[in-house]
Amino acid sequence: MCSAIRCPLRDGLPPYAADEFVRRRLASGAKELRYTTLDPESGPDAVQVESVLKGTAETEVDGRTVRLTEWSTKTSLIERPSSEFMSSDGVLVHSRTDLGVGILESRLTTRAIATAAAAPVEIMARTFIPLTSSARALSESRRAELLVTAKDSVLADLPSAGAQVFVRTAAGAARLSIDADSSSMAPVADVSDARFTRASVMADSDDPAIRGLAQKALEGCAPLPLARAEALRSAVNRYITNKNLASGFATASEAVKSRSGDCTEHAVLLCALLRTQGIPARVASGLLYVAESGAIRNSYGWHMWTQAMIDGKWVDFDAVLSARGPRFDASHLLTGLSAADGASIDTDLARIVDLMGDTVIEVQSIDGKPIGNAKGAAR
């Protein structure tokens, strides 16, 4: 592939070369497109793209009817296929992806239409995964056993890291064991990975304000890494006083200035504080059990927390939990891990979106006690 178009990447085509590759293939009448490229918004990892021609279609663009080719496209970023409509010169005019919680659609249009006011769309309630049996005890639990099943019988591997152990039981099912008091040995590659100790786009630990906050939080703290990590977790919980959903994905330095945010700001700020002390840290993406929040009851919803490498092991810390309470509990379900460099977080979120709307979660047991109606709970 790279022999046809010169590119500086050993494992794929840079974005411009990928666009040129697609244009040439379309011009030659190709019915399949397969290539590897980079998506700057999704991090430094190579992205595999596979597109298959489905036929032709007509659509309206800026008042004109345009004839397009329709392609079914899959990428390694998200397992769900997209319907893409391209012009003869390779311009993406329209795309449509069923995310399970709704349809993500984009169209080529004019600046006026793109920037015009639009009615707000409420999707948060759709992103929660409801449970069929009550599991309220999860919120204060130390151990839990879950059965996770994909409705389409295709379940991607989930991480075994920190408190979680993932065991596949079938192509579309797996058992998760969460022990809030456990940790996992860090692979050799993680121990030597500088991304977990240096400042990054999101966890900008080189900010003097962040270093000052860490120093203040650790006054009088024992020199043990676990004690220092817990002191920083508690400090973040107390420091972010305006807990809301309005901040989106703020950086650690932005969270320090605003003292506001949701789980993402708690997670990246704690990650940055840990790195100021030379403690390797990363952010964890996943799901959290919600007993009740507004109209949401007995469901799992999206969440983010932090993992720190303590004595060669990855340990979970959730700064959203009470400063005086435990650092973690078994209500968390881990789906992805990131060095908090911005783009890799996007990839982890794509993995969570793929779970939502396509996943059934059954709580098998809580702190060793079987949950009623759970399949296999007595086994």
Report if residue 187 sits inside a domain. Answer: yes
- Quick one: how far is CA 308 from the chain centroid? 18
264 φ, ψ (degrees, to nearest 5): -65, -40
Q: Are residues 103 and 133 in the same domain?
A: no
Neighbours of 234 (CB within 10 A): 20
Q: Are residues 107 and 162 in the same domain?
A: no
Q: Are residues 138 and 94 in the same domain?
A: no
Report if residue 95 sits inside a domain. Answer: yes
Domain boundary among 92, 115, 138: 115
Q: Are residues 187 and 336 in the same domain?
A: yes
Q: Are residues 196 and 96 in the same domain?
A: no
Q: What Cα–Cα distance (Å) separates residue 47 from each residue in 2, 14, 154?
A: 15, 11, 20
Q: Which of 187, 233, 214 is nearest to 325 (CA)?
A: 233
Two structure tokens written together for 77: 């970023």
Q: Are residues 134 and 275 in the same domain?
A: yes
Q: Are residues 131 and 279 in the same domain?
A: yes
Report if residue 3 sits inside a domain. Answer: no
Q: Are residues 193 and 55 in the same domain?
A: no
C-alpha 145/C-alpha 177 separation (Å) is 5
The beta strands (E) that lie in the chain are given as 32-38, 46-61, 64-75, 82-86, 92-98, 103-107, 129-130, 143-150, 164-170, 173-179, 184-185, 242-243, 260-261, 281-293, 296-310, 313-317, 332-338, 359-366, 369-370
Q: Are residues 75 and 136 in the same domain?
A: no
Domain extent for 96: 15-115
pLDDT tens-place values along the chain, 379 residues long: 333 333 444 567 888 888 888 888 888 989 999 998 877 666 566 788 999 999 988 877 777 788 899 999 988 777 678 889 988 888 888 888 876 656 778 888 878 888 887 766 555 566 788 998 889 999 899 999 999 999 887 888 999 999 999 999 999 999 999 999 999 999 999 999 999 999 998 999 999 999 999 999 999 999 999 999 999 999 999 999 988 766 667 899 999 999 999 999 999 999 999 999 999 999 999 999 999 887 789 999 989 999 999 999 999 999 999 999 999 999 999 999 999 885 555 566 666 666 767 889 999 999 999 986 555 443 3
Asked if 306 and 283 count as a contact pair (C-beta separation under 8 A), the reply is yes
Q: What Cα–Cα distance (Å) separates residue 351 from each residue in 20, 238, 346?
A: 29, 31, 9
Q: Are residues 80 and 132 in the same domain?
A: no
Q: Are residues 80 and 141 in the same domain?
A: no
- Owner of token pair 């004690």: 227
Report if residue 2 sits inside a domain. Answer: no
Neighbours of 207 (CB within 10 A): 19
Q: Are residues 188 and 140 in the same domain?
A: yes
- Quick one: how far is CA 165 from the chain centroid? 18
The CATH number given to whatever domain includes residue 189 is 3.10.620.30
Q: How many separate domains does the chain show?
A: 2
